[in-house]
Structure 1
Amino acid sequence: MVTPAEFLAATASGTRVVVRHLIDDGRATDSLGYFHLADDTHCVVATKRGLETIELARVIAAKEVPPPPAPRRRTTSAE
């Protein structure tokens, strides 16, 4: 089985991923976005909030996810 760190090391830049990692209070959070890069200790994900640098030692899961859905068209009500 591939570990999350191994998955991230093999992931191509620009791949859409979700990375579940521990934050300071011990709870888990997800970072959803486009994989940027990884080294021996950290990975970087480009999210809607900007670039997030995540310590690989805190990563508990990571996987590729499909592209986001297309934006919905706005409809106007005809009254």
Structure 2
Amino acid sequence: MVRLPAPGHRVVVRYLLPTGQATDALGELLSADETTVVVDGKRGIERIEVADIVAAKEVPPPPAPRPRAR
């Protein structure tokens, strides 16, 4: 199993799609067990099979929004 931080931290998880193409899930780690990792990101909640994971790591919080130009 890949090493992930405790739930509640922001992570990026690279995993393989059924087509063999790789994609990333970026967001808050909701849970992780021996078979499934759950990430809540911009695309919604993603359930990822551990067998499909290529890499994973904790990432820093997103940058603060920029002020709008007038």
Q: For this structure pair, what is the TM-score category when the shorter chain's length is used for normalisation?
A: over 0.9
- Scaled by the length of structure 1, the TM-score of the pair is 0.84
Alignment deviations for residues 24-74 of structure 1 (CA, whole Å, 9 cap, x no partner): 100100000010101110010011121100000000100011110000100
Aligned residue number for residue 3 of structure 2: 7
Match for 2:35: what amino acid? T
> Is the helix fraction higher in 1 or 2?
1
- Scaled by the length of structure 2, the TM-score of the pair is 0.94
Q: Is 1:18 equivalent to 2:12 in the alignment?
A: yes
> Is the strand fraction higher in 1 or 2?
2
Match for 1:46: what amino acid? D
What are the equivalent positions in structure 2 for 1:1-79 lying under 5 Å apart? 5-8=1-4, 11-76=5-70
Q: Secondary structure at the match of 1:70?
A: coil
**5+ residue gaps in structure 2?**
none
Aligned residues: 70
Question: 2:58, 2:25 → 1: CA distance?
Answer: 12
Question: Which has the larger Rg?
Answer: 1
What is the identity percentage for the equivalent residue pairs of Structure 1 and Structure 2? 57
Match for 1:7: what amino acid? R
Q: Secondary structure at the match of 1:57?
A: helix
Q: Secondary structure at the match of 2:3?
A: helix
Match for 1:42: what amino acid? T
